[in-house]
Structure 1
Amino acid sequence: MTDTINFPSRVGVIGGGRMGGGIAHAFLMAGANVTVIERDPVAASDARERIESSVAKSIERGATDANFDEVVQRLDVEITYDAFSEVELVVEAVFEDFNAKVDALTTAERHIADTAVLASNTSSISLATLAAQLKRSAQFLGLHFFNPVPASTLIEVVVAPETAGPVAAAAPAWVEQLGKTPVVVKDSPGFASSRLGVAIALEAMRMVEEGVASAKDIDAAMELGYKHPSGPLKTTDIVGLDVRLGIAEYLAEHLGERFAPPQILRDKVARGELGRKSGKGFYDWS
């Protein structure tokens, strides 16, 4: 591995959902050729439509002067990992489950070049536990994007214990070339953003549960008093209550009972009230 790693011109993304599609969008806008892997032809078609729509909206808003046809010509959506043979960076963006991420990362590792870098978009899982399943852990790190990726200006760069120096040094520069701001953190469950964000959100849920205030008023207190652009409960609805529950359970297991999910969160997930994507969470999104 050389001491300097340039911005990747060919990028792979595992998963073309909301997060994966957003990650693909970001690299496309930065000039990279992007290959997205999805599980089947239907999902691949949906992913392409999602990403192309996102690119079109950015152009319509005037966020970029890029040409739509030129951008989408650099997008490829496939269903086999063979398409990763020439990529320089792969970002895994499957759902927040350890086994699913290990399967995606180890499969990708078997298909990429020896010099390629692997990254996980995990928002909470310790990178060391994922790296232990890989043969080339020195070329692995975390790139935690935030939803919605096109509008978010933050990417958390998570450096695992075995991440090679050149990889750790290159990642913040990549983030800047995406037009975003890097925050570099050492590997730890929940990192910095999820750990703090989930802690605030869980306490806000307990306040709703205890009748301290409504979700709307709790969010207003954080938005007006602390200048949060979105309150913790509205943010939870946007992220997904099921996602927040999974992260909270993981953090409770590794960091203690202070992250134990409140019953109101468990009940809402059990009823299918997952937030914006289901039409209802702490707010009515219908």
Structure 2
Amino acid sequence: MARREEPYHRKILEKLTLKPSDDSTASIHDLVLTKEEGLERLLNYDWYRRTFLIDHFLRADTTLDSFAACDYAEQGDFIDKPFELKSRKNENEVKIILWRHGQVWAGERWCSVHLKKEIIVPNNKASFAVRYTIINNHPSEIPIWFGTECNLSMLDGESDDRYYIIEGREISPRKLSSKHYLNDITGFGVEDRYLKVKCEFRLSETADLWLFPIHTVSLSEAGFEKVYQSSVLMPQWKSVLSPGDCMKFDLSFTISAL
């Protein structure tokens, strides 16, 4: 999904309060519209669809808050541009290879960067693995800050029975509507005790990790309200690549029953 501007959002920004014109049942147009504290801060809009394995190249001044608000400078041209693809399968697995010869803005120039994702999906298992390769094809060294954005929707961001899990440590709060910036992570995921399912990520290389919710603002008969849509889990890595150098790392994703 993607957060989009709706016509009624301007009423929140204008801080309007509408009252019913008489004692009859109020319609959606004339009822009293009350907004919770800070609702206007959730009026953020996305220029891309928030899906899974989205390839971000970030600028050095990007923060968790600016990224969550989609108010940041994307440095690569990999999100909304096509990749080349080939696939093969055997009796054990399906392998999908995606690659793109793209550009990353570094300093005051566009730099040629090759990104390849090899996705392996084993038969009869609720899992897959991804191997990333990023190659600097530019004649000079370039700084790389790469993150892969993964969105999971567990229906409710406030319940205590749906929460983040981080390998080797506890976080608080851990509900899916919370926001975190974590360092030196190799394993993380989400548990849903209501649906009795666990979604786990494992990384071959330690990474920083951003966790944050995607909220939209909707208008119903009860007025304006915040609606949880999904949670973003984004591991990220930094490096400086000399000409011809590459960075490689693996990510695996598994769904299991609790």
TM class, shorter-chain normalised? under 0.3
TM-score (norm 1): 0.24
Identify the structure with the greater helix proportion: 1
Instruction: Please report the TM-score for the alignment, with normalisation by the length of structure 2.
Output: 0.26
Which one has the bigger strand percentage? 2
